[in-house]
Amino acid sequence: MPIIVHLDVMLAKRKMRSRELSEHIGITEQNVSLLKSGKVKGIRFDTLDSICKALDCQPGDLLEHVPGNEA
Amino acid sequence: MANSSERTATPADRIERVSRLMIWVITAGGAIMVLAYTSVWVVPGWLEDAAAQNLLGATATISAGPVLRLFAALIAALPLALVLYGLWQIRELFRLFGDRHYFSVDGSKRLLRFGAALLLAAPAGIVTRSIVSVLLTMNNPEGSRHLVVQMGSNDYFLVVVGGLLLVVGWVMREAARMQHELQQIV
């Protein structure tokens, strides 16, 4: 997938655990884990909005497009 | 005033309740079909009555011996076997609905098989009725042997409903694929 998710980096920067984030944004810890590992097909705008609010960041801080990374 | 502890039935509750009921209805219906079919061929006089009413007409006689009757019974069982197979598939589909699995690959397969069984039951019924009419009257004297080619509105509706269920099965397969994709979006 050419979209790389940097959620783990942002969580480390904000010193926040996955469980804490999942409680903040109202999705399961399992889904946060899947999102961190990039094993999802998509992310809803409202989930992205909640994550950005919880981590005080921009969508660009969480997602990166890497051309040619099709694996 | 309604008791606040009473939960209002959701559509999922209704689907579960009706599905569980339908499992029993289908099981009972299948058993009754097998019982009725066997009775027609085993109980003396019932085959003659059934053939007079539904196949050969009131004036026809059946002179087939036990072996020919057994052959006819086996051939006539083909459409019934198809319908029973279809009923089994739809029973399993209701079991999935009862367990609240609405859009599953297994469910779409069950519906497709039910539709295919109904579609095949119509031509199978037409062909087997013709063969059975020949077998039951082939020992009759010349002039009173029958070859019945019978096609009724039931056969037509079997084809229409079977075709509809086949298409709904494909739609359900597509819905299962979409639901699987939605589950991968957080």
Q: Is residue B123 part of a domain?
A: yes
Mutate to test the interface with B, among A25, A41, A48, A63 (most CBs of B within 10 A): A41
For chain B, say whether A50 makes contact (Cβ under 8 Å). no
Q: For chain A, what are the domain ranges?
A: 3-65
Average pLDDT over residues A19-36: 92
The CA distances from residue B46 to A16, B54, B131, in Å, are 80, 12, 19
In the numeric block, the tokens 């990166």 are attached to A64
B180: chain A residues, CB-CB within 8 Å: none
Structure tokens belonging to residue A36: 């961190």
Domain extent for B27? 11-183
Q: What is the pLDDT of residue B1?
A: 46
ipTM above threshold 0.95: no
Structural domain includes residue B66: yes
How many Cβ contacts (< 8 angstroms) between chains A and B? 19
Question: Would you call A26 an interface residue with chain B, using a CB distance cutoff of 8 Å?
Answer: no
Q: What is the CATH number of domain A3-65?
A: 1.10.260.40
Round the CA-based radius of gyration of chain B to a whole number and report it. Answer: 22
In Å, how far is B104's CA from the nearest CA of chain A? 19
Number of domains present in the structure of chain B = 1
Q: What token pair was written down for B54?
A: 């539904």
Residue B64 lies in a domain: yes
Tens of pLDDT along B131-173?
999 998 888 888 878 888 888 898 999 999 999 999 999 999 9
